[in-house]
Amino acid sequence: METQAELALRVVRQAGDAIQRRDWASYGARFHDDAVYEFVGQGTVSGRDNIVDYERSLQIESMRVTQDLWTADETGRVWWRYAAEWADPETAEQRRTSGASTALVRDGAIESLTSWIDLSFMLPKP
């Protein structure tokens, strides 16, 4: 039988896989209707449909994301680290950043998601 930690990991990883495939229906299916997504320093989005629209708006065709250092506990909390690389759509300059996220899974769906990102890629180059 699947533990709460295993279930939470599976649900969150499925959401991440759906983003990579740009499968927005599958991504949205992983969230509660009243879920909340806080992107620290960027804002908070409430509601499944708004979360899907927000995540879709962040995507750049050239973006590739890797995720690692997954862990979860029996409360349904999941933590992971990610890195992203892409070509700036305006300058074609290669960009990269990293960050971390945490999600709370309740009743088999994501109730809340919080992400932090390193914004140093936005700083002028010396």
The CA distance from 9 to 72, in Å, is 6
Q: Is the pLDDT of residue 96 over 70?
A: yes
Q: Are residues 60 and 89 in contact, defined by beta-carbon separation less than 8 angstroms? A: yes
Rounded to an integer, the average pLDDT of 85-113 is 92
pLDDT at 72: 97
Tens digit of each residue's pLDDT (9 = 90 or more) over 26-78? 999 999 999 999 999 889 999 999 999 999 998 888 888 889 999 999 999 99
Cα–Cα distances (Å) from 103 to 10, 35, 61, 64, in that order, read: 12, 10, 25, 21
**What are the structural domains, with CATH classification, of the chain?**
4-120 (3.10.450.50)
Phi, psi at 61, each rounded to 5° = -50, -40
pTM of the predicted structure, to 2 decimals: 0.88
Say what percent of the chain tops pLDDT 70: 95
Output the average pLDDT for the chain. Answer: 92
